[in-house]
C-alpha cells in the first residue's frame, strides 16, 4: 500500500564525548504496524543501555482537581472530552493510538510536565477550537467506517505536507510546544552533567522536532543519520 505519511527517526552524536541521542518524532495516531516498529527501536536501544525519555503530561489527581480553580477544572474537562472523542474516531477507523500501542517500560523516564501546568499556560481561545474539533470527531462516529477512515486519511495527508515545515515563531513560543521541549532539554543537561557521554532516546511528538534539533545543535551534537518511518498507508 502507498505510504501517505512518514515520520523522522534521527541520530545525533556529541562531537566531544561521542554520546548518542536518537530523536524519535512520533505522531499520536497511526497504523498499528508503525508503533510495532517504534517499539522494536525503543526496546533495542534500551537493551543497548540507552536511557529512553518520553513526553506525556501527567493527569491531575482528585486532590489537585479539588483545589484547582473552577476555570481550570472546566478547561481540563474540555481537554478530556477532546482526547476521548478523538481517540474513539481514530480507533473506530482502524488506527492505533500511541499511548495504547506502545508499552512504556519501567526504566523509561517521563520528562514532561503536568497537564494542569500546560492548561494554565494555554491561550483560552485554544479551548474553543478544541470544542469545535471535539464536535467534528463526534460527528465522524455517525459515518460509515469507510467514510470515516477516508476523512481521517485526508487529515493525515495535510499533516504530511507540514511534517518538515519549521514551526512559526509564534507556535514554537507557546508553552505547549517550546516550553515543554525546554523542560526535556534541561533534564538532558542534568543527566549529562552527572553522566557525560551517555546515550539517550527521546520519544516526542513530531511537532517538537525543530526545537530539539536546535537544542541539540547548540549542545554540540551533530546529526549523523536520518530515516523516515512509514506511519500511515492508504
What does the DSSP 8-state code read for residue 196? T
The band of 170, judged by pLDDT with boundaries at 50, 70 and 90, is low
What pLDDT score does 176 carry? 82
The band of 2, judged by pLDDT with boundaries at 50, 70 and 90, is confident
How far apart are the C-alpha atoms of 10 and 208, rounded to whole Å?
A: 13
Q: For cell 517550546, what's the residue?
A: 178
Question: Of 161 and 224, which is predicted with more confidence?
Answer: 224
What pLDDT score does 100 carry? 97
Query: DSSP string covering 108-166, please?
Result: -EE---BHHHHHHTS-HHHHHHHHHHHHHHHHHTTS-HHHHHHHHHHHHHHHHHHTTSP
What pLDDT score does 174 carry? 76
Amino acid at each position: 500500500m502507498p505510504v501517505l505519511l512518514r515520520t523522522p527517526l534521527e541520530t545525533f552524536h556529541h562531537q566531544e564525548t561521542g554520546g548518542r541521542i536518537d530523536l524519535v518524532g512520533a505522531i499520536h495516531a497511526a497504523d498499528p504496524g508503525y508503533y510495532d516498529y517504534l517499539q522494536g527501536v525503543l526496546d533495542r536501544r534500551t537493551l543497548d543501555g540507552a536511557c529512553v525519555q518520553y513526553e506525556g503530561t501527567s493527569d491531575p489527581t482528585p486532590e489537585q482537581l479539588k483545589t484547582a480553580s473552577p476555570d481550570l477544572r472546566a478547561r481540563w474537562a474540555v481537554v478530556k472530552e477532546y482526547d476521548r472523542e478523538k481517540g474513539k474516531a481514530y480507533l473506530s477507523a482502524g488506527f492505533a493510538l500511541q499511548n495504547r500501542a506502545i508499552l512504556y517500560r519501567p526504566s523509561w523516564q517521563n520528562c514532561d510536565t503536568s497537564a494542569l501546568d500546560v492548561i494554565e499556560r494555554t491561550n483560552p481561545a485554544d479551548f474553543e477550537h478544541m470544542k469545535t474539533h471535539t464536535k467534528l470527531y463526534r460527528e465522524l462516529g455517525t459515518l460509515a467506517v469507510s467514510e470515516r477512515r477516508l476523512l481521517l486519511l485526508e487529515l493525515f495527508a495535510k499533516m504530511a505536507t507540514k511534517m518538515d515545515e519549521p514551526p512559526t515563531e509564534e507556535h514554537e513560543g507557546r508553552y505547549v510546544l517550546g516550553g515543554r521541549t525546554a523542560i526535556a532539554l534541561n533534564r538532558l543537561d542534568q543527566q549529562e552533567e552527572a553522566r557525560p557521554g551517555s546515550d539517550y532516546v527521546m520519544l516526542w511528538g513530531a511537532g517538537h522536532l525543530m526545537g530539539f534539533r536546535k537544542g541539540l545543535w547548540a549542545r554540540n551534537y551533530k546529526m549523523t543519520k536520518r530515516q523516515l518511518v512509514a506511519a500511515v498507508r492508504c
